[in-house]
Amino acid sequence: MLIFEHSRPGRRNYSQSPAAAEIVGIPQNLMRKVPPLLPEVSEMDAVRHYTRLSQKNFSIDTQFYPLGSCTMKYNPRACNSLAMLPQFLARHPRAPESTGQGFLACMYELQEILKDVTGMAGVCLTPMAGAQGELIGIAMIRAYHESRGDSARTEIIVPDAAHGTNPATAVMCGYKVVEIATDKEGDVDMEALKAAVGPQTAGLMLTNPSTLGVFEKNVAEMSKLVHEAGGLLYYDGANLNAILGKVKPGDMGFDVIHINLHKTFSTPHGGGGPGSAPVGVAPRLLPFMPVPVVGSDNGMYRWLTEKDIPQTIGRLSAHMGNAGVLLRAYVYVRLLGAEGMHRVAEFAALNANYLMAEMSKAGFEIAYPTRRASHEFIVTLKELKEKTGITAMNVAKRLLDKGYHAPTIYFPLLVPECMLIEPAETESRETLDAFVAAMKEIMEEAHNQPELVKNAPHTTPVRRLDDVKAARELDLTWKQV
């Protein structure tokens, strides 16, 4: 039932509304005539309705979520409760800096910590999601070239395995996208890269470890190649979790990076946001950083603005980005400390390689069997599909019945019937073993009871939903019948 179907005219929450006040001086043509369609329910009705809705979700707090490229690790509760201290919540974004020294101290220290972790010269915390981090990064690359009068650079190179946000971002920044292929080992095809790089190259966007779950071994050579041609290197930090404390993007030669705090730094995914994606830059891009950035003058923290960074690419949010998410990330990095950060990559790698080994032993085909898993790996179900007609989608849906969130499927697109599996460091061995057992059961079902798998899921609040109907007969809002 929708909340609107619980609604009864005239029912309302008296403790949640002020006394009726008079509206003065607003002309009639500017006044609303018909009240908006908001539910009229009691507080208890609303609480029950949304509590029940929450129970229809899978979540990290209730299920294993081996979702490749998404880093679904435990979100420590302390991060949430400390970011929601009343003074932090009540602070207005335009309140003077003198009233926010406690908050700004956290932001400044987070900036400094992220600089060290990434090996970059400067960090700006304001980008509100990975795709916005990318937009800022590519805009800085463009501003850099333009500031040098180097305006013939029109192309951004993107590997074919990249996230869709990479090419979409390059286009939003006015660039043409050149896609390059991946070799048999899962690395960027160096010959294709050499052929693509030239005086027209503005930059290369790279995810490392890549979305295929492997570390690009030739990254130093790639960096040299692009830099020698006058291009810059963009690091998509989607998989930073795999190398935290082990390798720094700055040391690999990247000029600009974004970090997905909702992945590596464990801020909540929240059912699809808010994200947060600080951007780090090498020295040559410092003059173009977006504003505001937190600065420190004699122990007083303040916002650096257009006045301090006159060549800035500008502002990308109304205030300072997702401040509350940044506070959660700050608490997380302080809980981990340097040692804890090293362990993130170590145990993410241990879990991924263990799960890969166990799945291989259980008979699953690993897409890049000669490679180490970074913090994720790919299983291909091509053979299963050929033999039984059961697809990666079917297996994914059947996993839901067994109480597991499905891995990422059909991404990257170059591996047929693929499942990109990322266990993250916070899962125990028992959970990984149980997942392998569930996958084995599904394989048996695929052979013995294929209809059971094809028609999955069976135990979720709804069964397979009709996507085609959803797009054809658009029903985007509820209407009173």
Q: Return the exposure string of 368-399: e unless at least 16 CB atoms fall within 10 Å of the residue's CB, then b.
A: beebebbbbbbbbbbebbeebebbbbbbbbbb
Least distance in Å: CB of 385 to another protein?
19
Nearer to another protein (CB atom), residue 273 or residue 363: 273
CB of 116 to another protein, least distance (A): 3
Residues 51-90 close enough to bind another protein by CB under 8 A: 51-63, 65, 67, 70, 72-76, 78, 80, 82, 84-90
* Choice from 148, 224, 246, 387 touching another protein (CB under 8 A): 246
Question: Mask of contacts with another protein, 379-418, x by CB under 8 A?
Answer: -----------------xx--x----xx----x-------
Contact flag: residue 439 with another protein (CB under 8 A): no
Tell me: does residue 372 bind another protein (CB under 8 A): yes
The token pair that represents 369 in the structure block: 């069997």
Of the candidates 300, 363, 383, 478, which one interacts with another protein according to CB under 8 A? 478
| Footprint on residues 297-326 left by another protein (CB under 8 A) | 313-325
Q: Per CB under 8 A, does 100 bind another protein?
A: yes
Among the listed residues 122, 137, 145, 169, the single contact to another protein using CB under 8 A = 169
Nearest to 208 by CA among 79, 314, 69: 69
CA distance 43 to 16: 9
Interacting span for another protein (CB under 8 A) from 194-202, 376-384, 441-449, 455-463? 455-463
How far apart are alpha carbons 377 and 363 in whole angstroms?
15
DSSP 425: T
Q: How far is the CB of 402 from another protein (least distance, A)?
A: 12
In degrees, rounded to 5, the angle at the alpha carbon of residue 341 between the alpha carbons of residues 337 and 342 is 120
- Report if residue 43 touches another protein, rule: CB under 8 A: yes
Helix, strand or coil, per DSSP, at residue 25: coil
For residues 222 and 204, give the distance between their C-alpha atoms in angstroms, rounded to a whole number.
Answer: 9
Does 184 sit near another protein (CB under 8 A)?
no
Of 95 and 383, nearer to another protein (C-beta) is 95
Measured from the CB atom, is 228 or 476 closer to another protein?
476
Q: Which two tokens stand for residue 100?
A: 């926010």
| Residue 369 within binding range of another protein, rule CB under 8 A | no
Buried b (16+ CB within 10 A) or exposed e, 201-224: bbbbbbbbbbbbbbbbebbeebbe
Output the smallest distance, CB 229 to another protein, in A.
Answer: 21
Query: Per residue in 332-349, is it b (16+ CB within 10 Å) or e — as a string?
Result: bbbebeeeebebbbebbb
Please calculate the CA angle 55-58-62 and round it to the nearest 5 degrees: 85
Residues 328-347 that bind another protein (CB under 8 A): 331, 333-343, 345-347
Q: How far is the CB of 194 from another protein (least distance, A)?
A: 19
Decide if residue 269 touches another protein (CB under 8 A). Answer: yes
Complex with another protein: residue 286 or 410, whichever CB lies closer: 410
Task: Single out the residue of 149, 271, 310, 369 in contact with another protein (rule: CB under 8 A).
Answer: 271
CA distance 10 to 41: 9
In angstroms, the CA 203 to CA 186 distance is 21
Is 417:405 a contact under the CB 8 Å cutoff?
no
Asked if 363 touches another protein (CB under 8 A), the answer is no
Q: Does 362 bind another protein (CB under 8 A)?
A: no
Tokens linked to 436: 């392998």
Residue 438 C-beta: closest distance to another protein, Å: 15
